A and B are shown apart, each in its own frame.
Chain A
Amino acid sequence: MKVSIDWLTLLPVLAPALGALLVLLVDAALPKARLLHLGVTLAALGAGIGVAGWWAAFGGTAGTLCLDSSPGTCLYVAPASASILQIAALAAAAIVVLMLLGDGRDDEISGGPAVAAALVLAATAGATGVVAAQDLGTWLVTLELATLPMIALVALAGRRTSTHGALTLLVTSVLSFALLALGVALWMIATGSPVFATSGTGLSWESDAHLTVLIAAALVLMAGLGFKLSLVPFHAWTPVTYTSAAVPVTLALATISKIAALGALIPVVQTVASVAGAYAPGASVVAVDPRAGVVVAALAGLALVSMLLGNVAALRQIDPVRLLAWSAIGQAGWVVLPLVALDPSGSDAASGYLAAYVVATTVAFVVVHLVHGPVTVGAPERARELSHTGGLARNHLWLGGLLALALLSLAGLPPGVIGLVAKVAVLQPVIAAGLWPLAVVAVLGAVLGVAVYLRWVAILLGIGRSTQPLQRMPGSRLALTLAAAVLVVTSILPSLIFR
């Protein structure tokens, strides 16, 4: 079998992977050269962003690794929405690395700067890879590549709780992997092909029973990915692990891992859709094969329950990171909701919503990191409380103002326009598919979300306790500037994300 390879197109995946190797090589030659590691990492991520950005802006659908034996079948396919997810993952990784390596201290994560950078780069390569992967093997490997380095990163925080958090994540990941492996096996039985149907092979059916197996495979895969997306009822690890990791690592979990999980979910849902015939123009989801309806019902259930439960739990949180963890669960519900439409516009809406969430949540996490400062390995932990950000918008105008903007984006209220546009984008395919009752339930989720984030915004605007003096953290400050610039620009021009 001959495969044609366009190396340049693959750069969003290859650059971080090669960057990880390069960082480790540099570390062997020049140990402790933190700024050099930072430079290499940012250069690798920048190269990936450049290529993915070119494809998103001008190129349309990027495709390579095409099989000569069956024309039209490519194993790497990234439409514009996937390119935007890749950019989001690469940019989030850059922010994470800036926070970990740029603050001029090695002691937040044990193991040295090279290890941290290499782990982040490896996870990023996994995420950008799975977003475009079209064959089951690459899909499974890259998905795990996006997960495993995260466990190490959580454990390296070296705090008492971080071991617990890493163990929780490890157990969850193993369980998730088992489900995914089972799902892939069922998928192979059903389709007899190691390639997703979206890449153009189409599926030929030997018997009707194969479709039933395919639906079962899709459900198992959705459960496995539910862990990674922190959808209820697969969410229990999220608050534990988020709060026990170092904040930059938590940010990586909330962004890079989520992108990998959604990127993995989309081809599964699209294959089911193409089999069920929902791609026919004008076809309503309600009219498709009842077995595909099971997938729709499962997606809708996961989405709405996550949305409601995540936000209700977030209402009661005191630790800002724990609040953001529960809010991540609620937001994951919004990410998955448009997929119920079983059509490409639903997948695009999910990608766009996730990209908007990544931008806003990055700003929120960076501000939390700046306010509370890094926690040194082995040092006693200070409790984080929302009240520590009391009056932040008065005392530190930009810090508090940007956090408020990020929270309003998450809530979907102007001036956080990007968050509001994302909610419109999510509801549109759902309603177009005739599933407006789901949209009416989602209204409740939106209102609960507003209550969650507005509670924090009120604390930011309030009198509150004076915050502890901010530490000098040049890397995190630069990260905040970059992330905030993206948040503001996309709020004015949402079409940068919703292309």
Chain B
Amino acid sequence: MMLLAAVAVPIVVGLWLATAGRPLSRRAALDVALIAALAAAGLLAAALLTDSTLDLPWISRLGISLALGIDGISAPLLVLTAAIGVLVVVLARSHTPEGGSPATYLGAVLIATGGTLATFAARDAILFFLAFELVLIPVWVLIHRFGDRHDEAARRDAGLRFVLFTVTGSVLMLVGILALVTSTGTSSLDELVVAGADLPRGTQTLIAVLLVAGLAIKVPVFPLHTWLPAAHTTAPTGGSVILAAVLLKMGTYGLVRLPFASVPDGFARVAPTLAVLGVIGILWGGLICLVEVEAKRLIAYSSVAHMGFVVLGLASGTAVGVQAALIGNIAHGVISALLFVVIGGLKERWGAVRFDAPLPALREHAPHLGFVLILGLAAGLGLPGLAGFWGEVMAVYGAWSTHGRLFQACAALAALGAVLAAAYALRVARLLWVGEASAPVAPVADAETRGAERLVLVVLVAAIVAIGIAPHLVWSVTAVDVAAVVNR
């Protein structure tokens, strides 16, 4: 019940805020949303400690039950989601995007958080799909209503593109899930691990293709990533943080949970393609980041590259690779959240952050923010001691250790991609931090971070350093369940 409450509280409070609570003042709405987000985090912590589970029949005709539970694979993602939910609500204290009432904005944030928690906690394959869809409309509202005020057509386009791409993916995934469920006769994720593996190889391959194709849009895997840059560029800062830190993880989590765990033979046949596409994503994202001029778009493409590493690790099918994917997920969540808070905050204060226009040097005008930016970039390029390192190195190692020619080639190219990451990270640092873009200019508005935003950044920096120094914080949680899935 504790877990159900952790999922239900943000959804119910969010729905209330977005409808009846809309006339609330900004301050009151912020307080209500913060209480709800903290309550969700607290309830989740309690659920983790008590190992809370739930299994209620819901729509017996379709075999859907309200089955919620936590295991090692979902626990880190649940914690990440609850924490990001709190941080985004706190962030709204320093800046609430225009476009509607603050209560609507916070309501959408809470529903998206609750929907993501439900996705990670679901232990029923069809319930997983329903929760997956629950996130769509609130995030669409965040982009469509609260996105960049300068360009209404771009906002509409980005919002619609996000929804249509994601719906395509999720309905394809639904076809895969239903194929899996009808051929095994169960929709429980725990039973599917056993029942799915016994299916004939042809059926497994078909199911794996449908599931991987659907989930690859959400991850996103090259060449299905084209919705992501548009969505990130227009979304408000909080929306970008939710999108990058939490939403994309639903895709990789789904890949681990459904095709990888349930139809191993089928996934093994899809894996080489997935690995190659992941590596193309790493290189493609890296190359675009070398020339992209819009800062939020650049971070979005770097997300494509980072998710490429996650996908590569997963496709390798080794325990190390899957561990790399899971820690890479968490690390990318924290790092991209940090970068989007920095760049999004600057964009909100300056109106735009473009590298083809004169930029003030952050090291002079905003030393604190500058430091955080450098730390985020360093973590993003995989510097040892910071969060990004482990996911990338182990993904490459995992792919190399398969001893397959193709995977080893992928590993080598992925390592090359890590070099690209260093190059574009230094490019951003040079232009934005050193201020070499052109003749130095004074910022149009105050650049330094303060207030709630500063608090959010401190927490994210602490998380990046903590995961970088002590990766076993995540590994110790995931190890048992990953081993159970890989070695059967």
Known contacts A414-B130, A424-B126; A454 and B140 CB within 8 A of each other: yes
Distance A442 CA – B64 CA, assembled complex (angstroms):
21
Q: Separation in Å of the A449 CB from the closest CB of chain B? A: 9
Q: Is the CB of A447 within 8 A of B58?
A: no
Q: Is the CB of A458 within 8 A of B59?
A: no
Known contacts A436-B179, A447-B168; A498 and B174 CB within 8 A of each other: no
B residues near A408, Cβ cutoff 8 Å: 137
Residue A348, interface by CB 8 Å: yes
Q: Is the CB of A461 within 8 A of B145?
A: yes
Residue A415, interface by CB 8 Å: yes
A residues near B144, Cβ cutoff 8 Å: 458, 461
Known contacts A427-B174, A450-B167, A454-B163; A420 and B136 CB within 8 A of each other: no
Distance A440 CA – B211 CA, assembled complex (angstroms):
12
| Interface size range of chain A in the complex | 35 or more
Known contacts A440-B172, A440-B175, A443-B172; A397 and B19 CB within 8 A of each other: yes
Q: Is the CB of B145 within 8 A of A454?
A: no
> Which of B126, B129, B163, B171 touches A443 (beta carbons < 8 Å)?
B171
Distance A421 CA – B134 CA, assembled complex (angstroms):
12
Residue A166, interface by CB 8 Å: no
Distance A428 CA – B167 CA, assembled complex (angstroms):
18
Q: Is the CB of B178 within 8 A of A428?
A: yes
Task: Report B149-161 CB contacts with A as 1/0, cut-off 8 Å.
Answer: 0000000100110
Known contacts A450-B164, A450-B167; A427 and B137 CB within 8 A of each other: no
Residue A495, interface by CB 8 Å: yes
Residue B62, interface by CB 8 Å: yes
A residues near B19, Cβ cutoff 8 Å: 397, 401
Distance A440 CA – B61 CA, assembled complex (angstroms):
23
Residue B476, interface by CB 8 Å: no
CB contacts under 8 Å to A, within B124-141, are 126, 129-130, 133-134, 136-137, 140-141
Q: Separation in Å of the A438 CB from the closest CB of chain B? A: 10
Residue of A nearest to B23 (CB): A397
Residue B487, interface by CB 8 Å: no
CB contacts under 8 Å to B, within A451-499, are 451, 454, 458, 461, 494-495, 498-499
Residue B50, interface by CB 8 Å: no
Task: Report B7-26 CB contacts with A as 1/0, cut-off 8 Å.
Answer: 00000000100011010000
Known contacts A424-B62, A498-B62; A447 and B164 CB within 8 A of each other: yes
Q: Is the CB of A425 within 8 A of B62?
A: yes
A residues near B35, Cβ cutoff 8 Å: none
Distance A428 CA – B182 CA, assembled complex (angstroms):
7
Residue A40, interface by CB 8 Å: no
Residue of A nearest to B22 (CB): A397
Residue A47, interface by CB 8 Å: no
Distance A442 CA – B171 CA, assembled complex (angstroms):
9
Q: Is the CB of B61 within 8 A of A436?
A: no
Residue A417, interface by CB 8 Å: yes
Chain A residues touching B, majority SS: helix
CB contacts under 8 Å to A, within B168-188, are 168, 171-172, 174-175, 178-179, 181-182
Distance A397 CA – B17 CA, assembled complex (angstroms):
12
Distance A446 CA – B175 CA, assembled complex (angstroms):
12
Task: Report B53-69 CB contacts with A as 1/0, cut-off 8 Å.
Answer: 00000111110100000
Residue A22, interface by CB 8 Å: no
A residues near B115, Cβ cutoff 8 Å: 414
Residue B199, interface by CB 8 Å: no
Known contacts A397-B19, A450-B164; A458 and B156 CB within 8 A of each other: yes
Task: Report B29-63 CB contacts with A as 1/0, cut-off 8 Å.
Answer: 00000000000000000000000000000111110
Distance A417 CA – B160 CA, assembled complex (angstroms):
20
Known contacts A436-B179, A446-B171, A451-B164; A421 and B137 CB within 8 A of each other: no
Residue of A nearest to B141 (CB): A461
Most chain A beta carbons < 10 A, residue from B61, B64, B137, B145: B61
Q: Separation in Å of the A408 CB from the closest CB of chain B? A: 7
B residues near A461, Cβ cutoff 8 Å: 100, 141, 144-145
Residue of B nearest to A432 (CB): B182
A residues near B60, Cβ cutoff 8 Å: 495
Distance A246 CA – B206 CA, assembled complex (angstroms):
49
Distance A499 CA – B60 CA, assembled complex (angstroms):
7
Q: Is the CB of A413 within 8 A of B133?
A: yes
B residues near A440, Cβ cutoff 8 Å: 172, 175, 210
Known contacts A421-B59, A461-B144; A451 and B160 CB within 8 A of each other: yes
Distance A431 CA – B182 CA, assembled complex (angstroms):
7
Task: Report A149-165 CB contacts with B as 1/0, cut-off 8 Å.
Answer: 00000000000000000
The 4 closest A-B pairs by CB, nearest first: A432-B182, A414-B134, A498-B61, A431-B178
Supply 17 further A-B pairs (C-beta < 8 A) apart from A461-B100, A461-B144, A498-B61: A397-B22, A414-B115, A414-B133, A415-B134, A423-B174, A424-B174, A424-B178, A425-B62, A428-B182, A431-B182, A440-B210, A442-B171, A447-B164, A450-B164, A454-B140, A458-B144, A494-B58
* B binding-site residues for A, Cβ under 8 Å: 15, 19-20, 22, 58-62, 64, 100, 115, 126, 129-130, 133-134, 136-137, 140-141, 144-145, 156, 159-160, 163-164, 167-168, 171-172, 174-175, 178-179, 181-182, 206, 210
* A binding-site residues for B, Cβ under 8 Å: 348, 352, 394, 397, 401, 408, 413-415, 417, 420-421, 423-425, 427-428, 431-432, 436, 439-440, 442-443, 446-447, 450-451, 454, 458, 461, 494-495, 498-499
Q: List 30 A-B contacts (CB under 8 A).
A: A348-B61, A397-B19, A397-B22, A401-B19, A413-B167, A415-B137, A417-B130, A420-B133, A421-B62, A421-B64, A424-B174, A424-B178, A425-B61, A427-B174, A427-B178, A428-B178, A428-B181, A431-B175, A431-B178, A431-B179, A432-B182, A439-B175, A443-B175, A447-B164, A454-B160, A458-B144, A461-B100, A495-B58, A495-B59, A498-B59
